[in-house]
Amino acid sequence: MNCHAMNFNVGDHSAHHIRRIVRIYLRQWDMAELSDAAELALTELLTNVIRHVPEQRCSLLILRQHRGVRVEVGDPDPRTPVVGDPNQLDEGGRGLLLVEAVTDRWGVHPRPPGKTVWFECDAKAAT
Does residue 127 lie within any of the structural domains? no
Does residue 101 lie within any of the structural domains? yes
Backbone angles phi, psi at 108, to 5 degrees: -135, 135
Q: Which domain holds residue 106?
A: 3-122
Do the beta carbons of residue 37 and residue 99 sit within 8 Å? Answer: no
Does residue 35 lie within any of the structural domains? yes
Q: How many domains does the chain have?
A: 1
Reduced to 3 states, what is the DSSP secondary structure of residue 95?
A: helix
d(CA 28, CA 76) in angstroms, rounded, equals 31
d(CA 47, CA 2) in angstroms, rounded, equals 26
Does residue 84 lie within any of the structural domains? yes
CATH code, domain carrying 33: 3.30.565.10
Does residue 69 lie within any of the structural domains? yes
Does residue 98 lie within any of the structural domains? yes
pLDDT per residue, tens digit, the chain (127 aa), is 699 999 999 988 889 999 999 999 999 999 999 999 999 999 999 999 998 898 899 999 999 999 999 999 999 999 998 886 666 555 555 689 999 999 999 999 999 999 999 999 999 865 4
Helical ranges in the chain per DSSP H: 14-28, 35-52, 95-102
Beta pairing, strands 3-9 & 57-65: antiparallel
Does residue 85 lie within any of the structural domains? yes
